[in-house]
Amino acid sequence: MKVAAIMALSALAFSCTASAASGDAAFVAAAKAVVTQDLKDPESVKFKGLGIYQSASGLNFLCGEMNAKNSYGAYTGYVRFVSAIEGLKVIDSPDSEMLNLLWPQWCYKKIASVR
């Protein structure tokens, strides 16, 4: 099941390429929008440790940590995430091992730091 999910996400990721040299800011903004779109308060998300990474297969991803507010308005703590354009995202959660499997593949080689 996990392998099938990884293969499906990898296939989707193949269509999510973005050149770091031709628009880091646009890529980062789009990837952040994807990762925050379903949150209760997307404007309040805090990011840290952001970077544009190239996967082992040559695709670009925004990798880092995010801290979002819950329904009560309290921050929940930083969690790792991987995001790209076109709706692709994986956010770490206590009951999911998906990010542990994908992180070394998708956040493979840092090509740009993001502030």
Query: For position 69, what pLDDT does the model report?
Result: 95
Query: For position 58, what pLDDT does the model report?
Result: 87
Residue 99, pLDDT above cutoff 90: no
In the chain, what percentage of residues exceed pLDDT 70?
80
Residue 89, pLDDT above cutoff 90: no
pLDDT in tens, 6-43: 333 444 443 344 444 448 999 999 999 999 999 989 99
pLDDT in tens, 56-69: 888 899 999 999 99
Query: For position 16, what pLDDT does the model report?
Result: 41
Residue 61's nearest CA partner among 4, 110, 11 is: 110
Q: 66 burial class (0-12, 13-18, 19+ CB within 10 angstroms)? A: buried
> Interior CA angle at 77 toward 87 and 36, to 5°?
20
Return d(Cα 46, Cα 51) in angstroms, integer.
Answer: 14
